[in-house]
Amino acid sequence: MTPSDTCYKLIQSFEGCELSAYRDPVGIWTIGFGHTSGVMEGQTVTLAEAEDLLKQDVKNFSGAVEAWVHVPLSQSQFDALVSFAYNVGTGAFSQSTMLRLLNAGNFAEAANQFPLWVHAGGEVLPGLVRRREAERQLFLQKDA
């Protein structure tokens, strides 16, 4: 599957865009729309470069979702899972109860896993609470 514009807009809305490298809430150097690979202190990017990094990252996370999810997904479910994996990382997603429940065909219980992923640095972050609810709602949405 290919991520829709909805997926990109969801990620962009919660990641925001920073053109200078910064440390995220758990101390990871980040730039652009939440890009972390190879980011170093003092690094800067243009908006166009940030958008290119986002496209590249979303492609990678989409591939991971496709590789690990073994049940058919709607476009909305796929988009929600790509956003989720983009935020928590592929390692966490691949080992998650959410993925296990999903691959067992238990979509409702998989959806109920989103609200459990709201901690960073040992604290509940309000932005993650909002993001998980948005991802959960998208996951549960009926595609047209």
- Catalytic positions: 15
Q: How far apart are CA 92 and CA 84, in angstroms?
A: 10
Residue 90's SS3 state is helix
Q: Residue 118 gets which letter from DSSP? A: -
DSSP letter at 141 equals: P
Strand segments, DSSP code E, in 1-144 are 18-23, 29-32, 119-120, 123-124
Q: Any idea what the Cα angle at residue 38 is, between residues 10 and 99, rounded to 5°?
A: 45
